[in-house]
Amino acid sequence: MGVEFPPLSDIEQYIDEIFHSFRTYFWIKKHRWFVQCDWCPMDINTTGILYTLPYAFDTFYCTDGSRSKSTSLNDLDYSSYYQVQTLEHIHRKQNLGEVLPLFSFRFLNIRHLKVILPFNDNFWSVIPTLDRLISLDVTLNRDLGYPQLQTLLDRAPRLYSLSFCHLNNFSMASFNISSTSIRRLELFQKFSYGLRYFNSTECCILAGSSLVFQCEVLIIDVESRSSVLDFINIMPNVRVLVIRCNDDKSSRFHLLEANDELIEWFHDHLLSKFTYSIIRNPNYNSQIILWIHRGRSRHL
């Protein structure tokens, strides 16, 4: 539950007053029920979150500079957050050399992680292991985040899906990351940051990377539809392509017509070595979804 602290109050003293009714024999000794309050002193409107331990939900939001106070005698009880499978790191603009309070959280069962890079090194203590991580959603706000991204990939042997976005000027020369486990790659699909179409040169560089070569599902926006054919020819394991082409000549008012120019173009140009199915994404009509099955030729 949310807690709103009175203006100019001593937050820790206020929390102690809340905790008073939870520091009883019934709560602590008999049932071993504990309560924790998290808050971020840097927030303009200082509010906190009050919850019981062990934490009972599968999603947790971890904010830079946050502080915690608990009735538990063991602030670093790793089992308290074992229920959490989805962790989102809330990034606060800061000097990366700034000394922040150490987090009291430890997450050992994370399957899904969402972060903005680069982050303060304190955050590493929150995720001591990523052995169970299967999806990573990462946004870089500058190129300094690439070493941290590679470290995340190296520590996640079961990682299946990577969603990647860059807030500032992006260069393929910097996109030199690797992972042997990733099979799903989603590039620049956060609509709130604006669309980014990869040109033919960038697509060639990307297609030559080990990350794309081993990929089975690729979600990307391209300047030219011909780049899609290049991806199909180069990627031996690709099963699904979700694409948006900047040279799509169909207006949004005619996307549902029977004669879809872009889809007809793909029917004319796709190789006859595999079975495929192609449709407009019913949720985002500007996107094409292409399923590929390498085998006998026919289209659905």
The reply to whether 198 falls in a domain is no
CA contacts within 13 A on the Cβ side of 126 = 26
pLDDT at 185: 96
> Which has the higher per-residue pLDDT, 18 or 96?
18
The reply to whether 209 falls in a domain is no
pLDDT at 97: 54
Q: Name the nearest CA neighbour of 152 among 165, 134, 174, 170.
A: 134
The reply to whether 213 falls in a domain is no
Range of the domain at 52: 2-182
pLDDT at 80: 84
Which helix (H) or strand (E) covers residue 2, if one does? strand 2-4
Contact 22, 71 (CB under 8 A): yes
pLDDT at 295: 63
pLDDT at 96: 53
Contact 82, 67 (CB under 8 A): no
The reply to whether 30 falls in a domain is yes
* d(C-alpha 45, C-alpha 231), whole Å: 49
Domain count, the chain: 1
CB atoms inside a 10 Å sphere around CB 252: 9
Q: What is the pLDDT of residues 234-293, one digit of tens each?
A: 999 999 999 999 999 875 555 555 678 999 999 999 877 789 999 999 988 889 999 998
> Which has the higher per-residue pLDDT, 271 or 140?
140
Task: Select, from the ranges 79-93, 155-169, 240-254, 271-285, the one with the highest average predicted confidence (pLDDT).
Answer: 155-169
Q: What one-character-per-residue DSSP string does 63-128 give?
A: ETT-EEEES-S-TT-GGGGTT--EEEEE-----TT---PPP----S--SEEEEEES--GGGGGG-S
Mean pLDDT value of segment 164-179: 83
The reply to whether 275 falls in a domain is no
Counting runs of H as helices and runs of E as strands, what totals does the chain give? 6, 15
Q: What one-character-per-residue DSSP string does 168-208 give?
A: S---TTT-----SS--EEEES--GGG----B-HHHHHHHHT
pLDDT category of residue 128 using cuts at 50, 70 and 90? very high
What does DSSP assign to residue 143?
Answer: G
* d(C-alpha 75, C-alpha 271), whole Å: 60
The reply to whether 257 falls in a domain is no
Q: Which two tokens stand for residue 161?
A: 């899906």
> Which has the higher per-residue pLDDT, 179 or 64?
179
pLDDT at 130: 97
* d(C-alpha 298, C-alpha 300), whole Å: 7
The reply to whether 241 falls in a domain is no
Contact 30, 64 (CB under 8 A): no
CB atoms inside a 10 Å sphere around CB 205: 15
Contact 160, 181 (CB under 8 A): yes
Q: Name the nearest CA neighbour of 206 among 189, 190, 220.
A: 220
Mean pLDDT value of segment 32-45: 81
* d(C-alpha 58, C-alpha 112), whole Å: 10
pTM of the model: 0.87
The reply to whether 234 falls in a domain is no
pLDDT category of residue 93 using cuts at 50, 70 and 90? low
Mean pLDDT value of segment 51-62: 91
pLDDT category of residue 8 using cuts at 50, 70 and 90? low
Q: Which two tokens stand for residue 297?
A: 């030729």
pLDDT at 95: 54
Which residue shows structure tokens 């179409």? Answer: 197
